Amino acid sequence: MKKTLFLLSAALLFLALGHSVFASPAKDGAPSGGGAASQGPGPAAPVPVKGKIILSTTTSTQDSGLLDYLLPVFTRETGWQVDTIAVGTGAAIKMGRDGDADVLLVHAKAEEIKMVADGYGIKRYDVMYNDFLVVGPDLNAISHNDNVIQTFKDIAAKNLPFVSRGDNSGTDIMEKSLWKTAGIDPTTLPKYTSAGQGMGATLQMADELKAYTLTDRATWLTFTRDKKINLPAVCEKATDLLNYYGVIAVNPAKYPKVNAAGAQAFVDWILSDSTQKFISQYGIADFGASLFTPNAKANG
């Protein structure tokens, strides 16, 4: 009898342990802002680690939280870990041209196309887009509108403070082109400040100085939600404020030491239908709408 009771107890203990040890593990939680299935678009079981890639990207993908949302899923599905360097797009593209990165995710289309034409990138692909907007402290000085060129003219005419990123980023390039279209040299404006910083830091500086600035929507929404800034939208939803992001693998013919396999894996992954859908769900939980619109279908 004692032997029977012992065997029965052992069996029950094994079943209890088996339930806790061998049951399916809890799914990884997607970062705040996702609104997507937490496990992401791919297989539940992680792929064994293959190595690392260096991703050079713009600060807006980091400050908006998008990288925290995407990269753990990429690593789990492909086995490639990611070392991220988030800088202005100009600096990110320079890293690609210098062979200091394996793959780029940036938003200055003309510069991206030139990089590929010069032989430093294999091919540029559309990934997604959001939009820029002008934000500022006082809607009495400039009422809410959708005419960005007139907004820039009003900022100059009324001598309102403006903070520029001043870092040769995609946002900075867009801002300079808008001033040029408006026929204004912003460096002659007495209250024009060049921050030389990323998007998040520039927004916080504009908030402290009670100034206007040009920002991408995703970073602005994230910093507004987190109560890091209080800068309402002044000008938005203008057709000339769309902000396109592209992905480029650095050309191994120029730099044989780049991780060509890992870079191509990232390009293929971010352009895949499942990842594009995953991107479309980012932001829905917190903002009721996606922060980025997938655009890989534009590649044909």
Q: Which ranges of 158-195 does DSSP label H, i.e. alpha helix?
A: 170-182
Average pLDDT of the chain to the nearest whole number: 88
What is d(CA 79, CA 127) in angstroms, rounded to the nearest whole number? 21
Q: What is the CATH number of the domain that holds 214?
A: 3.40.190.10
Give the residue from 189, 221, 188 showing the smallest Cα distance to 203.
Answer: 221
Same domain membership, residue 227 and residue 137: yes
| 259 belongs to a structural domain | yes
Bridge partners of 98?
none
Same domain membership, residue 115 and residue 215: no
| 44 belongs to a structural domain | no
SS3 content of the chain, % helix, strand, coil (to 5): 45, 20, 35
**Is pLDDT above 50 for 135?**
yes
Using DSSP's 3-state secondary structure scheme, residue 130 falls into strand
Secondary element (H or E) of residue 193: strand 192-194
Amino acid (one-letter) located at 176:
K
pLDDT digits (tens, 9 = 90+) for 175-207: 999 999 999 999 999 999 999 999 999 999 999
| 46 belongs to a structural domain | no
Bridge partners of 242?
131
Structure tokens at 114: 């030139």
Using DSSP's 3-state secondary structure scheme, residue 215 falls into strand
Range of the domain at 195: 131-241
Same domain membership, residue 107 and residue 252: yes
pLDDT digits (tens, 9 = 90+) for 138-176: 999 999 999 999 999 999 999 999 999 999 999 999 999
| 41 belongs to a structural domain | no
Kindly state the percentage of the chain with pLDDT values over 70: 86
CA dihedral 21, 44, 267, 272 (to 10 degrees): 180
Using DSSP's 3-state secondary structure scheme, residue 85 falls into strand
This prediction has a pTM of 0.81
Same domain membership, residue 149 and residue 105: no
**Is pLDDT above 70 for 269?**
yes
Kindly state the percentage of the chain with pLDDT values over 90: 83
Instruction: Put residue 234 in one of left, alpha, beta given phi > 0 → left and psi -120 to 50 → alpha.
Output: alpha
Per-residue pLDDT band at 12 (split at 50, 70, 90)? very low
pLDDT digits (tens, 9 = 90+) for 16-74: 333 333 233 333 333 334 444 345 776 668 899 999 999 999 999 999 999 999 999 99
Same domain membership, residue 144 and residue 108: no
Using DSSP's 3-state secondary structure scheme, residue 36 falls into coil
- CB under 8 Å to 247, separation ≥6 — which residues? 103, 104, 105, 124, 125, 127, 266, 267, 270, 271
Give the residue from 92, 174, 97 showing the smallest Cα distance to 134.
Answer: 174
Neighbours of 188 (CB within 10 A): 8
Same domain membership, residue 225 and residue 155: yes
Mean pLDDT of 224-228: 95
CA 227 to chain centroid, in Å, comes to 20
Domain count, the chain: 2
Same domain membership, residue 286 and residue 204: no
| 1 belongs to a structural domain | no
Same domain membership, residue 248 and residue 235: no
Handedness of CA 25, 82, 247, 120 (dihedral sign): negative
Same domain membership, residue 136 and residue 82: no
